Amino acid sequence: MNLLENGILLIDKPAGWTSFDVVAKIRGKRKAAFREAGITPTKQQLKVGHAGTLDPFATGLLIILLGKATRQSDEFLKKDKVYEATIRLSATSSTGDPEGEITVESTLQPSESDIREVFGKFTGQITQTPPAYSAIKVNGQRAYKLARKGQAVELPSRVVTIHSLELLSYDYPNVTLRTNVSSGTYIRSLAQDIGSALGTGAYCQTLRRTEIDGMTIQSASAIL
Residue 99 is given by DSSP the state T
Q: Which of 139, 131, 192, 140 is nearest to 158 (CA)?
A: 131
- Confirm if 9 and 26 have CB atoms less than 8 A apart: yes
27-52 burial, b at 16+ Cβ within 10 Å, e below that, comes to beebeeebeeeeeebeeebebbbbbb
| Sign of the alpha-carbon torsion through 110, 111, 117, 119 | positive
188 bridge partner residues: none
| Bridge partners of residue 62, in order along the sequence | 11
CA angle, corner 57, sides to 73 and 1, nearest 5? 40
Active site residue 55: yes
Cis peptide before 131 (omega within 30 of 0): no
Per annotation, catalytic residue among 12, 55, 97, 193: 55
| Cα torsion angle, 135, 136, 140, 145, sign | negative
**Rounded-to-integer distance, Cα 93 and Cα 205, Å:** 10
d(CA 82, CA 163): 10
The Cβ of residue 66 has, within 10 Å, a number of other Cβ atoms equal to 23
The residues that are catalytic are: 55
